[in-house]
Amino acid sequence: MEKTDVLIVGGSAAGLMAGLTVKRRYPEKKVTIMRKASKTPVPCGIPYIYGTLKAVEKNNMPDEGFIKQGLQLNTLAVESIDRGNKTADLADGTRIAYDKLILATGSYPAMPPIPGMQTGNVFGIKKEPEYLQNIQKALESSRHVVVIGGGFIGVEMAEQIAKMAQAGSHDEPVNISLIEMLPNCLMMACEQEFCIDAERELSEMGINVMTNAQVQAIQGNGKVTGVQLASGETIPADAVVVGIGVTPNIDLARQIGLEADPRMGIKVDAYMRTDDPDIFAAGDCAAKFSFFDGQPTGIRLASVAASEGMIAASNLYHPLRKCMGAVGAFGTTVGNSSIGAAGLTTKAADAADIPYVVGEAVFPNRHPGSLPGCVANMKAKLLFSRDTGKIIGGHVRGGESTADMVNIVAAAIQGGLTAEELATMQYATHPLLTASPLGYHVMLAAENASVKMSDNRPSQQ
């Protein structure tokens, strides 16, 4: 019987990061990653297959790097696990013994419980190269495309389908509609003014953005013909892409008797341990709690998965590292703009009953502003706890460095830095790379918040 030290079920962000972490910390351990798909698509890269990369295979992570770092990659499915004997049975009938097991089984695309979801040319966004290829074929032959869900994946898909059409994939114009139930796209993750900016970018690309719109049924006999809304309106559709979120894949965990909630995921503690001392879970399949209040949260991002994978792997033999909870840090591009955000929005802070102070800064992202490629109105909006002065959230909108810049905010949140500290810090600036030292966005927004919180009297320190 084959033996491995660490068996990891799942080969996306959490599983790969877990494997790499084991090899960094314990180079002598044998690490086997079970991955059903022949290749791992970059999960966040899926929308970019259609407009930017123009080929499914360009979005696959190359295996060479992982193999070079000593990981064993195995594409057989795990059929069952014997926790008592610590063995796994694979799809070809072979059995593999493990010492430690990490479940990184990921998630399924969530599908709305409405009639017609099984109609042809209605797609979820599965992380499977062959399925993604089918989406591409359907899009190429469709004149009316409807995207259901205005969160990140939906917005990115709609934007990329528009780019695909702009690049001449079709002889005739393509009608693209994006349908969102809430008053704004991206509303679960972004401040409203940033959502409205994103919607404007989408509209300027010719996308029909429909908010406050609920899908009631998919129409069509065999192949989709339209999407019927609660308002009674029907949007013609030759293809429908659904991006309304994900559901944790707890199938294997349940099968082997681990505690897991269909909505929240596999139960883990802050060390990513399940109830079985030799079994860990990380990534989309694992339950999450919020960094801010410790409450359960549905934040499922590749960055959270990677962090959890690293933490789980670090704790296999001793509890070394604790998970701080999901912060929610991300970036995206929409049309000619990009957005980065981390932590709480004003809406989320209100919901969590955390009193806050907002600081904002609008400043060119190059200096002088006459430099070619300068984004004149790059914007930061930061949130600080009124009680502690610590930063609890932030958005940056503008040039290509929004995500890297918002990672200053992400690090500051996780490091517990205050408005006062972020205002008086020194930041690297350069004419061709950043805002001016007078207007570096994080600094200036923090200073504006600090002024609001200050009574200009001597500090007690």
Contacts to a copy of itself from residues 365-384, by CB under 8 A: 367-372
Q: How far is the C-alpha of 414 from the C-alpha of 282, rounded, in Å?
A: 19
CA–CA separation, 59 and 374 (whole Å): 30
Among the listed residues 146, 242, 361, 410, the single contact to a copy of itself using CB under 8 A? 410
What are the angstrom distances between the C-alpha of 215 and each of 49, 112, 184, 443?
26, 9, 15, 43
> Is 225 near a copy of itself (CB under 8 A)?
no
The C-alpha atoms of residue 417 and residue 259 are separated, in whole angstroms, by: 36
Residue 345 in tokens: 């929005």
Contacts for 180 with CB less than 8 Å, ≥ 6 apart: 149, 150, 154, 187, 209, 210, 211, 212, 213
Structure tokens at 214: 């609920």
In this complex, which beta carbon is closest to a copy of itself, that of residue 237 or of residue 334? Answer: 334
With CB under 8 A as the contact rule, the residue among 260, 342, 354, 375 that binds a copy of itself is 342
Measured from the CB atom, the residue of 116 and 394 that comes closer to a copy of itself is: 394
Q: Does 107 bind a copy of itself (CB under 8 A)?
A: no
The yes or no reply on residue 16 touching a copy of itself (CB under 8 A) is yes
Q: Which of residues 387-406 bind a copy of itself (CB under 8 A)?
A: 400-406
Does 433 bind a copy of itself (CB under 8 A)? Our answer is yes
Question: Interface with a copy of itself includes 142 (CB under 8 A)?
Answer: no
The answer to whether residue 348 forms part of the interface with a copy of itself (CB under 8 A) is no
Q: Which of residues 245-304 bind a copy of itself (CB under 8 A)?
A: 301-304
Token digits for 7?
């068996």
* Residue 423 is a binding residue for a copy of itself (CB under 8 A): yes
Residue 311 makes contact with a copy of itself by CB under 8 A: yes
Q: Give the number of other Cβ atoms within 10 Å of residue 415's Cβ.
A: 10
Burial of 149 (0-12, 13-18, 19+ CB in 10 A): buried
Q: Which of 165, 209, 305, 382 binds a copy of itself (CB under 8 A)?
A: 305
Give 291's Cβ-side CA count (13 Å radius).
Answer: 23
Site string for a copy of itself, 48-67 (x = CB under 8 A): x---xx----xxxxx-----
**From 21-29, 82-90, 130-138, 228-236, span contacting a copy of itself (CB under 8 A):** 21-29
Does position 228 bind a copy of itself by CB under 8 A? Answer: no
Based on CB atoms, which residue is closest to a copy of itself, 25 or 36?
A: 25
Task: Work out how close the CB of 304 gets to a copy of itself at its nearest, in angstroms, rounded to a whole number.
Answer: 6
Of the candidate residues 408, 419, 445, 449, the single one contacting a copy of itself (CB under 8 A): 408
Shortest Å, Cβ 213 to a copy of itself: 27
By the rule CB under 8 A, 130 interacts with a copy of itself: no
Query: Of residues 157-216, which lie at the interface with a copy of itself (CB under 8 A)?
Result: none
What is the rounded CA–CA span in Å between residue 108 and residue 77? 16
CB closer to a copy of itself, 161 vs 403: 403
Among 158, 260, 442, 449, binds a copy of itself (CB under 8 A): 442
Q: Using alpha carbons, select from 390, 381, 383, 407 the residue that is nearest to residue 329.
A: 407
Of 17, 34, 282, 374, which lies in the binding site for a copy of itself, with binding defined by CB under 8 A? 17
Per-residue tokens: 27: 């180079």
On whether the CB atoms of residues 121 and 239 are closer than 8 A, the answer is yes
Structure tokens belonging to residue 280: 């860990």
Closest CA to 208 of 168, 239, 241, 235: 235
Q: Between the CA of residue 205 and those of 195, 208, 270, 335, what are the distances in Å? A: 16, 9, 44, 7
For a copy of itself, the binding residue among 188, 207, 412, 419 (CB under 8 A) is 412
- Asked if 454 is part of the footprint of a copy of itself (rule: CB under 8 A), the reply reads yes
Stretch that binds a copy of itself, among 142-150, 225-233, 249-257, 435-443 (CB under 8 A): 435-443
Q: Is 270 exposed, middle or buried (0-12, 13-18, 19+ CB in 10 A)?
A: middle
CB 20 → a copy of itself: shortest distance, Å?
A: 7
